[in-house]
Each structure stands twice: as structure tokens, then as C-alpha cells.
Amino acid sequence: MRIVAAIAFLLATVSAAAAEPLADPSFVPLFDGKTFTGWEGNLDWFRIEDGAIVGGCRDKAVPRNEYLCTKKAYRNFELRLKFKLVGENVNAGVQFRSERVPKTSEMIGYQADMGQQYWGCLYDERRHKLLAGPAKEEQPKMIARDRWNTYVVRAEGRHVQLWLNGYKTVDYIEPDPSIPQEGVFGVQIHKGDASEAWYKDILIRILSD
């Protein structure tokens, strides 16, 4: 009985910790779960389903990278969200401190990457460079395939940190002073085979400048 009680206590503690950002008034939603208010992008490739933003589709290849972006820019913050990827060889990511490339569907800036061999990695779409992240062989133990995962992105000054399902995967200091440290968020579906990227419970806490 003691073992059962201990397990029950542990599960309750984990559940409470997972729910904490929702209950914490310092976190506010960026997505209301019902409308695209505050967001912009190519709605041929994004829809809302079951309270989540869904990019891509399961029966048609994605011809180019597509992003749904916030209209507002942010500087220092902690972002928390849930995501899941559906499909074979799917890739997606969350842009931050980023901007649109005029007259294209692309974005430049930092990306909290997901899928393929990039789970939990920090990629830079501006420099087309992998900046930091866990080794490929370490990534499978961090993820839940075809199920909901959690991502935490914390950016304060030039310090960027990522957590994937509670695993700290990136602790990076930007060495280049020319790289912008402010920009919009964007959720991505990467070009490729038929696939979907789902995003929900997108919350932000603003940190002091």
C-alpha cells in the first residue's frame, strides 16, 4: 500500500507540475484555441482543430515551408507549448526572435526544431546553421512519437535555453552581436511528404528587458 500511495503521490506531483503554467497568472495564451486572432499566414496550409493549430495535411505533400506567425514581436520571454507530429519523416519547428522574408513563404531567425534528427535542437534559419542540441542517438528517449510533447523556450538577452519534455537540450549564448534579439513567433510545417504539425496550449511569460 505504501508503494501504491507513493506512486499516486508522484503522479499527482507530476500532473500538478505539468499544469503549473496554465494556473500561473504570469503566463498568458498566445493562441485562444478557436481563432487566428493575433496570427497571420497562409491559411491554405493551417487550420484549427480540437483547440490546436494544425499545419499541413495527411493526404497531400507540402510543397514549401509554411509558417503561421504572431503579429506581435517579443524580446525576452519564456514560451511553453505542446506539439505533436504526424507522418513519416516529418519536420517542423517553432520560430522565435524571427521575421518574414519579404515576397516568400520563408522566415529567418531562431528555431526550436523538431522531427527527423533535430528533436530539441536550436537551428538558425538566418544562417542556415545548427547552433546547438542533443546528439542524434540521445533524442529518441526524449520524445513521444505521434503523441503530445512539451517544449519550453526561454530567451533572455543573448542566452537561449530549450527543454523538450523536461529534458534540457540547449543552453546557448549568442556570440554574434549583429543577430537580432527580438522578433515574432512562428509555427512551421516543413516542406516534404504528407504530414501534419499540431500546436496547442501556447503560453508566454514576458521577462524583463
Question: Residue 16 domain-assigned?
Answer: no
**Amino acid in position 195:** S
pLDDT at 25: 84
According to the model, what pLDDT value does residue 14 have?
A: 39
Give domain status of residue 200, yes or no: yes
User: pLDDT, tens digit, for every residue of 101-153?
Assistant: 999 999 999 999 999 999 999 999 999 999 999 999 999 999 999 899 999 99
Q: Is the dihedral of CA 18, 206, 51, 163 positive or negative?
A: negative
Has residue 68 been placed in a domain?
yes
Query: For the chain, what percent of residues have pLDDT higher than 90?
Result: 85
Q: Which amino acid appears at position 133 of this protein?
A: G
> Domain residues for 126?
26-206
Q: How confident is the model at residue 24 (pLDDT cuts 50, 70, 90)?
A: confident
Average pLDDT, the chain: 91
pLDDT at 60 over 70: yes
Nearest residue to 169 (alpha-carbon basis) of 137, 135, 194:
135
Say what the pLDDT of residue 23 is.
Answer: 63
- Are the CB atoms for 198 and 53 separated by under 8 Å? yes
Q: What are the angstrom distances between the C-alpha of 163 and each of 61, 121, 142, 154?
A: 30, 10, 10, 9
Residue 207 burial (C-beta neighbours within 10 Å; 0-12, 13-18, 19+): middle
Domain count, the chain: 1
For residue 5, is it within any domain? no
Q: Decide if 38 is inside a domain.
A: yes
pLDDT, one tens digit per residue, over 178-195 is 999 999 999 999 999 999
What grid cell was written down for 50? 480540437
Q: Kindly report the CATH number assigned to the domain that includes residue 185.
A: 2.60.120.560
What distances in angstroms separate CA 148 from CA 7, 45, 86, 165, one per listed residue? 23, 21, 10, 9
Could you tell me if residue 161 is inside a domain? yes
Q: Does residue 18 lie within any of the structural domains?
A: no
What was the pLDDT predicted at 99? 98
Summarize pLDDT for 65-108 with one digit per residue, the tens. 999 999 999 999 999 999 999 998 999 999 999 999 999 999 99
In a domain, 10, yes or no: no
CB 106 within 8 A of CB 113: no
